[in-house]
Amino acid sequence: MRVGFIGLGGMGAAMARNLLDAGHTVLVWNRSSEPVRRLADAGAIAAGIDEAFATGTVLSMLSDDAAVAERLLDPAVLDAAPAGALHVNMATVSTALAQRAAREHAERGLRYLAAPVFGRTDAAAAGNLTVVAGGDPAAIAEVAPLFDVLGRRTWPVGEEPAQANLVKIFGNYLIACSIEAMAEATAVIEAGGLDPSAFIDVLTDTLFTGPVFAGYGGMIGKRRYEPVNFRLPLGFKDVQLALTSGQERNVPLPFGGVLRDAFLDALAHGQQEQDWAAVAETARRRAGLA
């Protein structure tokens, strides 16, 4: 299959490479050139955004609403795309942006799917992501072979793209809540003279055996926030998306305010380049342990 792939950060580069390795012809674009060069060395075709859309099937993995709006909702890009072209946005964006994108594609006879993913960069590299798909079922079926390369399972959650984004936003919100809970608990454990890492080992062997507690808990317990699988500013962005989604639907999110302030504290202390698990350092600062 001939496809375009736009956005080659840690997640996007791994996903595009898996499509290449599966035998697909992949045209790639990224704002910076180095990821494009690496994938071109592996057999991808360096292309412009318009050339990626010209394939008729383009996947995108840009960082936020602003990047998607600037690069992929540019009227010149959409007007030049072939009739019936399918854009699959796999990034975590707001439901408002998803609604706008679906509308602006439809106005031009184009198709739009939201297919955000759960999983860190290691899962992306292993083709072990979970894909949450929203949009026309026929379009989802059309790109199912691509999803099968990228992930372990695809979950269609609704016929509106924004519905998939809502699921993704609140999946990430629950992860952020779990990180904050572990941060607070380990701060108390440390203040009590105990080893936070051993505490996390007990929990992940008994009560909380899933990947969130094992992966992020291990980082928090050892205070080792590398390798960075999900940068802290992106975590803050997703907390903000959750708060906005709740406000739009008149649903209070009391924990969301706590998370927002914890992430702001981390950003104010220069933790922009750390994994979002490093927000645990906020709890340590509040406890006088830093």
Q: What is the pLDDT of residue 149?
A: 98
pLDDT at 290: 77
| Count of beta carbons in the 10 Å neighbourhood of residue 250 | 6
User: How does pLDDT run across 1-20, given as a tens digit for each residue?
Assistant: 999 999 999 999 999 999 99
Residue 233: is the preceding peptide bond cis (ω within 30°)? Answer: no
Catalytic residues: 168
Predicted TM-score (pTM) of the model is 0.94
Tell me the CA distances in angstroms from 65 to 30, 69, 290, one per residue in order.
16, 6, 34
Burial label, 138 (beta-carbon count in 10 A; 0-12, 13-18, 19+) = exposed
Mark the ranges of the chain whose per-residue pLDDT is less than 50.
none
**Exposed/middle/buried for 58, CB within 10 Å: 0-12, 13-18, 19+?**
buried
Structural domains of the chain sorted by starting position, each given as residue range(s) with its CATH number in brackets: 2-159 (3.40.50.720), 167-286 (1.10.1040.10)
> What was the pLDDT predicted at 254?
97
User: Could you give the angle at the alpha carbon of 265 between the alpha carbons of 262 and 268, nearest 5°?
Assistant: 155
CB burial of 32-57 (b: ≥16 within 10 Å; e: otherwise) equals: eeebbeebeeeebbebebbebbbbbb
pLDDT of residue 110: 98
For residues 238 and 93, what is the distance between their CA atoms, to the nearest angstrom? 8
